[in-house]
């Protein structure tokens, strides 16, 4: 849309736990600046929990956030450093 490439994820129902999305990233072996941008909306004061974490136990988060969503589209951009 509007010349942007994107991946659309639609979750219509979660019966137990949560819906998860996985996208592999390069290995982090030194401090690295990153940017995450997304368009999101959700009904009934939905909360989006997102983060960058190590794949494999103990699944340690390097960065995370949890914005509340409304029924209207919001453009969200986060800039952060992981180590």
pLDDT tens digits, 1-60: 678 787 888 888 888 778 888 888 888 889 999 999 888 888 776 788 889 888 889 988
Q: What is the pLDDT of residue 35?
A: 93
pTM of the predicted structure, to 2 decimals: 0.74
pLDDT band (50, 70, 90) for residue 71: confident
Task: For residues 14 and 54, give the distance between their C-alpha atoms in angstroms, rounded to a whole number.
Answer: 24
Question: Is pLDDT above 90 for 80?
Answer: yes
User: Are 15 and 25 spatial neighbours (Cβ–Cβ below 8 Å)?
Assistant: no
Q: What are phi and psi of 34, to 5 degrees?
A: -135, 160
- Taking alpha carbons only, the member of 51, 47, 52 closest to residue 28 is 52
Residue 46 near residue 75, CB atoms below 8 Å: no
């Amino acid at each position: 849309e509007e010349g942007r490439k994107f991946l659309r994820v639609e979750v219509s129902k979660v019966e137990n736990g949560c819906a998860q999305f996985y996208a592999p990233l390069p290995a982090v072996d030194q401090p690295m600046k990153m940017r995450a941008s997304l368009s999101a909306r959700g009904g009934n004061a939905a909360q989006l929990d997102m983060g960058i974490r190590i794949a494999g136990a103990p699944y340690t988060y390097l960065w995370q956030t949890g914005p509340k969503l409304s029924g209207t589209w919001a453009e969200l951009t986060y800039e952060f450093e992981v180590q």
